[in-house]
A and B are shown apart, each in its own frame.
Chain A
Amino acid sequence: MSENPKDAAVTVPAQSTGTVVTKADPAPGETLLKVTGLQKHFPIKKGLLQRQVGAVRAVDGLDFEVRAGETLGVVGESGCGKSTMGRLITRLLEPTAGKVEFEGKDITHLGVSGMRPLRRDVQMIFQDPYSSLNPRHTIGTIIGAPFKLQGVEPEGGIKKEVQRLLSVVGLNPEHYNRYPHEFSGGQRQRIGIARALALNPKLVVADEPVSALDVSIQAQVVNLLDDLQQELGLTYVIIAHDLSVVRHVSDRIAVMYLGKIVELADRDLLYKTPMHPYTKALMSAVPIPDPARKAAKSERILLKGDVPSPIAPPSGCRFHTRCWKATEICRTTEPPLLELRPGQQVACHHPENFADQAPQDTVLLTDAKEAAELVSEEALAQSAATSAAVAAEVGATEEPAKAATEAEPAEASGAAEAPATSEASATSEASATAEASGTSADEEPPAKEK
């Protein structure tokens, strides 16, 4: 857990460009893993000749870094590419494009033998503790396998080391000779963790480490991961769909949608003031174990429909087909992942809780209006109000020159408030007709000029 993540966030990727591999552990906060432009497209082949007719763009351009000692959480819904990402950074999959650097060394295209020394430093924990352990091997063999594969003879012999690992993860060292089926799900996940820890790795990538476990067991494993990090100074990338678990374990969190990171921020910033509408919707969808909120349906943003297919992702911002704030620019221009606030990177033209990035574009898409029906008016009003307030603040304090931005976002958020003002409804009607009549909606900007 890095003590001062904000400091680290500002660092330019300078020290990571060197090609010399330093065997010494990187100091906490230094970049351990750096990913640039990472892509993985799975080709779809059809017909007799198996021609490629398209590709599942599972991961489609990721940039992020993992700092030594921290936990990076990765959340997203199924099909967002988070598991593929995990397999790419551990090099279980070959990237289509982009670069993965570990401790400054480019490992993107290392072969099997080139990866071998790295396999010690990067380990993976899998979701399913039932299928990831070979049922025919004793757990002694399973946990000892990494030593044999790497040709490492630990002090005091493999058996002793395996027993030490067993006790580290909270299992009885005497169970060395038992088989996986003799253990419960939670215990098997501990075995998987012990195996991952065997070679004293620097980076552990855990793909849904607790989602197959019962609630009470989940907590045991989460706590175990926590303890191990503190004792061994591990760095984690934890991939999960459960936002509460991710919040609990992570220092920073990346939110993925359709192969892209839409928001990457320090934990508290992300949960207190999410900027990407998708992040906001995702968090509001989590059921809260508090019956008093049963009636409070208004707090929830319901996204309509399903995640679009990663074979043909929507143009521009990939979330625009389900976003209640989407405007023309969202359909045409892909928003870059920008650090709008120290420690919070967002890819959005109209972020929540922050100044609008495309304030001139105020006309909502028809999709957005349908989506807005599913967003409670309170939520809309609240989001509009906070954006306006933040915009005012930003406009007033930091850039007084651009006073114009102050007014326009406020206006924009007024439009988002939908049926409140007649003016707003007029604009939305205009956009509706524009959408209905014109096939090329790109040519209709006059609606917002007043």
Chain B
Amino acid sequence: MLAYLIRRLFAAAVMLVVIVMVVFSIFFLIPKWAGVDIATSFVGKQADPSSVKAVAEKLGLNDPIYAQVWEFFKGIFVGRTYSAGGDVTNCSAPCFGYSFRSEQAIWPVLTDRFPVTLGLALGAAVLWLIFGLAAGVLSALKRGTLWDRGAMVVALAGVSLPIYFTGLLSLAVFSYGLGWLDAQYVPLEDSFTGWLGGMILPWITLAFLYAAMYARITRATMMEILGEDYIRTARAKGLRESVVIRKHAMRSTMTPILTMLGMDLGALIGGAILTETTFSLPGLGQAVLNAIKNQDLPVILGVTLITSLAVLIANLVVDVLYAVIDPRVRLA
């Protein structure tokens, strides 16, 4: 088990380096080869040539590539300074870039917005796991009944209805119509209940989509697992059916669910753009959207990096959980 953990951690570290290099290439190397002036894109099209030149020097765009890569890495771990002549800009570690347009480092922007997105994703995940799994298991156990069919129709609706539709609908009904909830985001530090109130609708909206997917997967997996020989063995031992389901079938059902959860969580943290936009949540998704609108490349770069990290960490956690559940994985 320990060897497995070390292997996974090592693999994650290697992956991290690879990700940084790829992101670097996308933002610095490929445009260079393509003949796009990187400095201009960092400053904005309407910038005057002198500031473009200054940014180019600050970023070291004229240095050899290995030096640029090194500076980039160094920035993440120990911070870096952007200097052009006497004009020095400090960016302390972890430096995920610097927006020369808004004259601020990216990292504080990310740390401001990250908790919002994380809270949204995790809260929704808890909801969709509870409801998705429960609905899926019940459907599997009552297959062919009215309950099963009903649940699957709702699930189908959940999968097919877009977030902005369900989101706006819920806003219209619960916030504007019934007035139960205030559709205003309140930071957690300010007021827990306020935060909760602002998050409930986004959670439900997001969870509805995912719960539907999870219910369908759970139902299919559960039905397959219930046909396994070892479930028959468990019954042959004289176990109560509820124990058979909980102890034997559920554990096997969890494996594919976990795999999905890792990927979904990672992707959501990278930007639940639709949900955040619909509910005006100041999360990473919104930041990206704004950055794209303003062509603020450093922000996009920063978010890309942090998203990759999130996916990486989520997958690491899933891998570890996987090994806890399935002993065979520890060998591989």
Q: Give, as a whole number of angstroms, the nearest-CB distance from A415 to chain B.
A: 43
**Bound Cα distance A59, B134 (Å):** 51
Q: Give, as a whole number of angstroms, the nearest-CB distance from A214 to chain B.
A: 21
- Is B11 among interface residues, defined by CB-CB distance under 8 A? yes
- Is B2 among interface residues, defined by CB-CB distance under 8 A? no
Measured between beta carbons, the chain A residues less than 8 angstroms from B7 are: 47-48
1/0 per residue B4-34: CB within 8 Å of A? 0001001100100000000000000000000
Query: Which residues of A13-51 have CB atoms within 8 Å of chain B's CB atoms?
Result: 47-48
Q: Give, as a whole number of angstroms, the nearest-CB distance from A315 to chain B.
A: 26
**Bound Cα distance A48, B14 (Å):** 10
Measured between beta carbons, the chain B residues less than 8 angstroms from A48 are: 7, 10-11, 14
**Bound Cα distance A48, B4 (Å):** 12
Q: Give, as a whole number of angstroms, the nearest-CB distance from B306 to chain A.
A: 25
Question: How many Cβ-Cβ contacts under 8 Å join chain A to chain B?
Answer: 5
1/0 per residue A31-75: CB within 8 Å of B? 000000000000000011000000000000000000000000000
A47, closest chain B residue (CB)? B7
**Bound Cα distance A407, B7 (Å):** 62
Binding site of B, secondary structure by majority: helix, strand, loop or mixed? helix
Binding site of A, secondary structure by majority: helix, strand, loop or mixed? loop
B10, closest chain A residue (CB)? A48
Q: What is the size, in residues, of chain A's interface with B at 8 Å between Cβ atoms?
A: 2
Query: Which residues of B50-66 have CB atoms within 8 Å of chain A's CB atoms?
Result: none
Measured between beta carbons, the chain B residues less than 8 angstroms from A47 are: 7
B11, closest chain A residue (CB)? A48
Measured between beta carbons, the chain A residues less than 8 angstroms from B10 are: 48
A48, closest chain B residue (CB)? B11
**Bound Cα distance A47, B14 (Å):** 13
Q: Give, as a whole number of angstroms, the nearest-CB distance from A47 to chain B.
A: 8
Q: Give, as a whole number of angstroms, the nearest-CB distance from A435 to chain B.
A: 33
Measured between beta carbons, the chain A residues less than 8 angstroms from B11 are: 48
**Bound Cα distance A298, B10 (Å):** 57
**Bound Cα distance A255, B162 (Å):** 65
Q: Give, as a whole number of angstroms, the nearest-CB distance from B180 to chain A.
A: 53
**Bound Cα distance A48, B11 (Å):** 7
Q: Give, as a whole number of angstroms, the nearest-CB distance from B2 to chain A.
A: 16
Q: Give, as a whole number of angstroms, the nearest-CB distance from B315 to chain A.
A: 15
Measured between beta carbons, the chain A residues less than 8 angstroms from B14 are: 48
1/0 per residue A423-449: CB within 8 Å of B? 000000000000000000000000000
1/0 per residue A68-101: CB within 8 Å of B? 0000000000000000000000000000000000
Q: Give, as a whole number of angstroms, the nearest-CB distance from B255 to chain A.
A: 23
**Bound Cα distance A425, B14 (Å):** 62
Q: Give, as a whole number of angstroms, the nearest-CB distance from A54 to chain B.
A: 14
**Bound Cα distance A402, B146 (Å):** 89
Query: Which residues of A365-408 have CB atoms within 8 Å of chain B's CB atoms?
Result: none
B14, closest chain A residue (CB)? A48
Query: Which residues of B191-209 have CB atoms within 8 Å of chain A's CB atoms?
Result: none
Query: Which residues of A211-259 have CB atoms within 8 Å of chain B's CB atoms?
Result: none
**Bound Cα distance A47, B10 (Å):** 11
Q: Give, as a whole number of angstroms, the nearest-CB distance from B332 to chain A.
A: 9
**Bound Cα distance A431, B10 (Å):** 50
**Bound Cα distance A436, B14 (Å):** 49
**Bound Cα distance A233, B11 (Å):** 58
**Bound Cα distance A48, B10 (Å):** 9
**Bound Cα distance A98, B14 (Å):** 41
B332, closest chain A residue (CB)? A46
Q: Give, as a whole number of angstroms, the nearest-CB distance from A143 to chain B.
A: 34
Q: Give, as a whole number of angstroms, the nearest-CB distance from A51 to chain B.
A: 13
Query: Which residues of A147-204 have CB atoms within 8 Å of chain B's CB atoms?
Result: none
Q: Give, as a whole number of angstroms, the nearest-CB distance from B9 to chain A.
A: 12
**Bound Cα distance A48, B8 (Å):** 10
**Bound Cα distance A48, B7 (Å):** 8
Q: Give, as a whole number of angstroms, the nearest-CB distance from A44 to chain B.
A: 12
Q: Give, as a whole number of angstroms, the nearest-CB distance from A45 to chain B.
A: 12
Q: Give, as a whole number of angstroms, the nearest-CB distance from B23 to chain A.
A: 21
Q: Give, as a whole number of angstroms, the nearest-CB distance from B34 to chain A.
A: 33
Q: Give, as a whole number of angstroms, the nearest-CB distance from A49 to chain B.
A: 10
Q: Give, as a whole number of angstroms, the nearest-CB distance from B330 to chain A.
A: 14
Q: Give, as a whole number of angstroms, the nearest-CB distance from B68 to chain A.
A: 27
**Bound Cα distance A180, B14 (Å):** 49
Q: Give, as a whole number of angstroms, the nearest-CB distance from B38 to chain A.
A: 33
**Bound Cα distance A47, B331 (Å):** 11
**Bound Cα distance A325, B40 (Å):** 85
**Bound Cα distance A273, B161 (Å):** 76
**Bound Cα distance A47, B11 (Å):** 10
Q: Give, as a whole number of angstroms, the nearest-CB distance from B142 to chain A.
A: 31
Q: Give, as a whole number of angstroms, the nearest-CB distance from A46 to chain B.
A: 9
Q: Give, as a whole number of angstroms, the nearest-CB distance from B17 to chain A.
A: 13
Q: Give, as a whole number of angstroms, the nearest-CB distance from B319 to chain A.
A: 14
Q: Give, as a whole number of angstroms, the nearest-CB distance from A139 to chain B.
A: 30
Query: Which residues of B157-192 have CB atoms within 8 Å of chain A's CB atoms?
Result: none
**Bound Cα distance A155, B187 (Å):** 84
**Bound Cα distance A48, B12 (Å):** 11
**Bound Cα distance A364, B14 (Å):** 54
Q: Give, as a whole number of angstroms, the nearest-CB distance from A33 to chain B.
A: 39
Q: Give, as a whole number of angstroms, the nearest-CB distance from B11 to chain A.
A: 6
Q: Give, as a whole number of angstroms, the nearest-CB distance from B105 to chain A.
A: 34
Q: Give, as a whole number of angstroms, the nearest-CB distance from A53 to chain B.
A: 13
**Bound Cα distance A47, B8 (Å):** 10
**Bound Cα distance A47, B3 (Å):** 11
A and B contact pairs by CB, cutoff 8 A, 5 listed: A47-B7, A48-B7, A48-B10, A48-B11, A48-B14
Interchain residue pairs A-B with the least CB separation, the first 4: A48-B11, A48-B14, A48-B10, A48-B7
Binding site for A on B (CB under 8 A): 7, 10-11, 14
